[in-house]
Amino acid sequence: MSEHDQKLETATRFLETLRRRRSVREFSDRPVSQAVIERLVAAAGSAPSGANKQPWRFVAVRDPAIKRAIREAAEAEERKLYAGRANPEWLEDLAPLGTNAEKPFLEIAPWLVVVFKQTRNTDAGQGGEQVYYVNESVGIAVGMFLAAAQFAGLATLTHTPSPMKFLGPILDRPAHERPFMVIPVGYPAEGSTVPDIRRKPLGAIMRVDRDRSPNEDDPDRPLPSSMPTTADG
């Protein structure tokens, strides 16, 4: 097998693994070891970041009392969202996902990994206090965490109650760490389901050089390769 074919095969296997990832909202309480979570966070921590400041903090929560406190605070904010904070278009976009203000997964999932972004650097050996491209850096790290969890055979959900300021006091984080995302991690509950959604095909999200055609925004536009045109979301 040529080097090209080997790389293509490896990239395709990785793609097939990630294509099976779905956001799960019905979790089992089946345990996941701390060692596994540590590997996932370590994978996320290998992400690139602005000036290598690594402006993230991953707080792994397994204590039932802390998870309960997070759920109560998150649901209080979510009730406000669904009662009027979200405009009609937002609620219409959420409807196919079947979401509501109730978030039992915040207690049932064996782990909640709460990601914080750091607005200044306080870690020795990482230069001065200034940080750069914080949202971009933390976003990349979160994506790598999700990919690592999928590769490990675990289910995840990206949960972003708005606002999330309650997470700092609950987890006793310093003021320069701002909540970025809550990620329940575990296994899907038996019989759990996910919404019937689709991802955009490659032809709708990729261009090569200045490739542009009149049907550029057409999701059925022919692909530039033999890649499948659809995949489960």
The residue extents of the domains of the chain are: 22-196, 198-233
Check whether 126 has a pLDDT greater than 90: no
Check whether 232 has a pLDDT greater than 50: no
Percent of the chain with pLDDT over 70: 91
Residue 213: pLDDT band with limits 50, 70, 90: low
In this prediction, residue 21 carries a pLDDT of 94
Instruction: Calculate the alpha carbon distances from 173 to 59, 121, 166, 168 in Å.
Output: 9, 14, 10, 5
Check whether 215 has a pLDDT greater than 80: no
Does pTM top 0.85 for this prediction?
yes
In this prediction, residue 233 carries a pLDDT of 34
E-only strand ranges, the chain: 56-61, 111-118, 155-156, 177-186
Check whether 114 has a pLDDT greater than 60: yes
Helix or strand run (H / E) with residue 227: none
The mean predicted confidence, pLDDT, of the chain is: 91
Q: Give the pLDDT confidence of 4-44 residue by residue, as tens digits.
A: 999 999 999 999 999 999 999 999 999 999 999 999 999 99
Nearest C-alpha neighbor of 183 from the set 170, 167, 195, 198: 167
22-196, CATH topology level: NADH Oxidase (3.40.109)
Please check whether residue 84 is in contact with residue 94, taking contact to mean a CB–CB distance below 8 angstroms: no
In this prediction, residue 88 carries a pLDDT of 92
Mean pLDDT on 167-190: 98
Mean pLDDT on 45-73: 98
